[in-house]
């Protein structure tokens, strides 16, 4: 008998975000690189990871740490060489893992040759690769759009007298997706990476490539919510016209054809906190294959809210979402949920819930160690958000990974790291946790192993168990996943049957039969099987 169903390969894998600058440094310059990643790929395979997403490694002035690409077909010398990258692809494949590269199609670097030419003259053949508008009366910016990183989304070019559009830094000019030549360029960029060995793409800012053709002013936000990770000016507006335009789906329709011969994956960073809207990107046969569902990164530890966010994602686009509880753009889950042992236990409980839902879960590096945010004093901030605005910024989740006790924490042999690693402890490290079967690392490994071993967790429909109360639980065929999201011990009653506790986040009761009522400690999660 062949495989039970024809589900795509990513359904059966757990992904992992490698934030390349902070994963592992092989040459002592304090910045992670491709050889460092190559060296530790066997760790990821040991953990049970099936998809490795590598954040941008392209030549870049690094104004936004690689999300400002100066050459879409190269490797920045600080990360190594094309040969190093190909070695990563080859070794990952040997270990049974797929690799996603991070495609940044919304904007390039201002140092990309396209933009250098475009801004040199209105007659440049590349002028229309970017979005240019005449000043509004009085010389003001063409509309009220704002940048994620503070200030207007428009910068005036003195040479040509027009403004260029940038939803991020002015050094990240937005590409003009209304120009078919831009689409042609990207078809070839995708093909370039697929033929080099990439298995697909994480697509940066996947919801915003296409802008409203009339560039209308955005209305004020119905509700202003201050963010740690973007400027107030950004949060003050409802992003009606600079994102989420229906035309963006034409881009993905095209890309589906490009990746199809390679069975490549299109995974979108659809940063839209409405499950029905994310679903529009992935429903049907010609959209993105998967979209990240980011609402869990915005959750307070409250059972009603957690249930609502999980149910919304699971119902809006079953099997088509990538589940995450952290990324290089948000504070780490363990810190968001209160820090210390409680924060760590809550983060593991949420991961337990996410790993069994339909779709593909992704861990952010260090989550498997229960890491909290690194301590980065304001004067050492590197993130443009922190340097340009009052916001806390994203550095806390981006500090280097502690691999082993000792100087440089096994991350580097060099004297310093690009972000500080102060405050890490021996217990945080991969080496110490790998040697300790009771560690967080072994909990995550056991969880992934269980997901692999239970096809029902990947194939059966989800039935939610109970509609309120502190225990959030669901059943998929012969598996039940439950987490106590309250602060008191709580019980739930599994459907009739002889259930066994196959996984218990704090190890209590593991491998024991579950009784008629299962009592969970605060922040404890279990997986029951029969
Ligand atoms: C999303 C990326 O994850 C983030 O790090 C970056 O700053 C923006 N997109 C702009 O590329």
Q: For 303-329, how does the pLDDT look when each residue is reduced to its tens digit (9 = 90+)?
A: 999 999 999 999 999 999 999 999 999
SS3 499: coil
> In Å, how far from its chain's centre is CA 327?
5
Our answer on whether the CB atom of 205 is closer than 6 Å to any ligand 1 atom is yes
Our answer on whether the CB atom of 252 is closer than 6 Å to any ligand 1 atom is no
Answer whether residue 93 shows pLDDT above 50: yes
Q: For 253-291, how does the pLDDT look when each residue is reduced to its tens digit (9 = 90+)?
A: 999 999 999 999 999 999 999 999 999 999 988 999 999
Our answer on whether the CB atom of 168 is closer than 6 Å to any ligand 1 atom is yes
Which domains are present in the chain? 13-106+181-449 (3.20.20.80), 113-165 (3.90.400.10), 461-529 (2.60.40.1180)
Which ligand 1 atom lies nearest to the CA of residue 67?
Answer: 11
Question: Residue 148 Cα, ligand 1 centroid: separation in angstroms?
Answer: 10
SS3 513: strand
Mutate to test the pocket of ligand 1, among 55, 67, 174 (most ligand atoms within 8 A of CB): 67
Question: Residue 55 Cα, ligand 1 centroid: separation in angstroms?
Answer: 10
Answer whether residue 104 shows pLDDT above 70: yes
Rg (CA), the chain: 23
Residue 265 per-residue DSSP state: E
Q: For 338-372, how does the pLDDT look when each residue is reduced to its tens digit (9 = 90+)?
A: 999 999 999 999 999 999 999 999 999 999 999 99
The answer to whether 372 and 334 are in contact (CB under 8 A) is yes
Catalytic residue among 269, 367, 368, 372: 269
Distance CA 236, CA 239 (A): 9
Instruction: Give the residue, by CA position, lying nearest to ligand 1 atom 6.
Output: 67
Verify whether residue 269 is a known catalytic residue.
yes
Which ligand 1 atom lies nearest to the CA of residue 271?
Answer: 1
The answer to whether 25 and 412 are in contact (CB under 8 A) is yes
How much helix, strand and coil, in percent to the nearest 5, is found in the chain?
A: 35, 15, 50
- How many helices and strands in the chain, by DSSP H and E? 14, 18
Q: Which residues make beta-bridge pairs with 528?
A: 480, 501
Residue 2 CB partners (closer than 8 Å, separation 6+): none
State the DSSP H helix or E strand holding residue 195, giving kind and residue range, or none if neither.
helix 180-196
SS3 459: helix
SS3 16: strand
Distance CA 504, CA 323 (A): 20
Q: For 25-53, how does the pLDDT look when each residue is reduced to its tens digit (9 = 90+)?
A: 999 999 999 999 999 999 999 999 999 99
Residue 503 CB partners (closer than 8 Å, separation 6+): 352, 446, 447, 450, 510, 525, 526, 527
The β-bridge relationship of strands 51-54 and 15-18 is parallel
The answer to whether 204 and 123 are in contact (CB under 8 A) is no
Mutate to test the pocket of ligand 1, among 63, 329, 395 (most ligand atoms within 8 A of CB): 329
Per-chain mean pLDDT for the chain: 97
């Amino acid at each position: 008998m062949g495989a039970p169903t024809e589900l795509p390969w990513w359904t059966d894998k757990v992904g992992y975000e490698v934030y390349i600058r902070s994963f592992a440094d092989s040459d002592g310059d304090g910045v992670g690189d491709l050889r460092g990643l190559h060296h530790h790929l066997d760790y990821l395979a040991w953990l049970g990871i099936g998809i490795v997403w590598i954040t941008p490694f392209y030549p870049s002035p690094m104004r936004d740490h690689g999300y400002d690409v100066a050459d879409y077909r190269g490797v920045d010398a600080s990360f190594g060489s094309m040969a190093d990258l190909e070695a990563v692809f080859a070794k990952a494949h040997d270990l049974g893992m797929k690799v996603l590269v991070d495609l940044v199609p919304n904007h390039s670097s201002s140092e990309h040759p396209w933009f250098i030419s475009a801004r040199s003259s209105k007659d440049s053949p590349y002028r229309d690769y970017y979005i240019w508008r005449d000043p509004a009366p009085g010389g003001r910016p063409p509309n009220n759009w704002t940048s994620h990183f503070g200030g207007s989304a428009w910068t005036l070019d003195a040479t040509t007298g027009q403004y260029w559009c940038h939803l991020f830094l002015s050094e990240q000019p937005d590409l003009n997706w209304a120009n078919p030549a831009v689409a042609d360029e990207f078809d070839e960029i995708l093909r370039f990476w697929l033929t080099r060995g990439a298995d697909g793409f994480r697509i940066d800012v996947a919801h915003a490539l296409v802008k409203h053709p009339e560039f209308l002013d955005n209305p004020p936000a119905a509700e202003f919510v201050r963010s740690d990770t973007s400027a107030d000016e950004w949060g003050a507006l409802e992003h009606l016209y600079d994102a989420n335009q229906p035309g963006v789906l034409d881009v993905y329709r095209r890309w589906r054809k490009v990746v199809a011969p390679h069975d490549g994956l299109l995974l979108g960073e659809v940063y839209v906190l409405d499950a029905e809207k994310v679903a529009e990107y992935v429903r049907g046969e010609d959209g993105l294959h998967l979209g990240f569902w980011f609402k869990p990164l915005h959750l307070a530890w409250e059972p009603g809210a957690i249930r609502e966010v999980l149910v919304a994602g699971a119902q809006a686009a079953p099997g088509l979402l990538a589940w995450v509880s952290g990324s290089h753009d948000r504070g780490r889950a363990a810190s968001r949920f209160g820090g210390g042992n409680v924060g760590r236990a809550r983060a593991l409980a949420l991961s337990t819930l996410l790993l069994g839902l339909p779709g593909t879960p992704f861990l952010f590096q260090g989550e498997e160690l229960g890491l909290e945010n690194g301590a980065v004093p304001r004067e050492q901030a590197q993130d443009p958000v922190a340097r340009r605005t009052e916001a806390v910024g994203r550095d806390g989740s981006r500090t280097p990974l502690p691999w082993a006790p000792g100087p440089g924490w096994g991350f580097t042999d060099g004297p310093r790291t690009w972000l500080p690693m102060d405050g890490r402890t021996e217990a945080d490290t991969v080496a110490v946790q790998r040697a300790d079967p009771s560690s967080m690392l072994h909990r995550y490994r056991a969880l992934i192993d269980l997901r692999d071993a239970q096809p029902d967790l990947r194939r059966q429909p989800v039935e939610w168990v109970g509609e309120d109360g502190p225990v959030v639980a669901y059943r998929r065929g012969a598996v039940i996943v439950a987490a106590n999201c309250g602060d008191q011990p709580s019980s739930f009653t599994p459907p009739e049957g002889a259930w066994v506790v196959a996984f218990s986040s704090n190890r209590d009761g593991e491998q024991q039969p579950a009784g008629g009522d299962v009592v969970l400690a605060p922040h404890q999660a279990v997986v029951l099987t029969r």
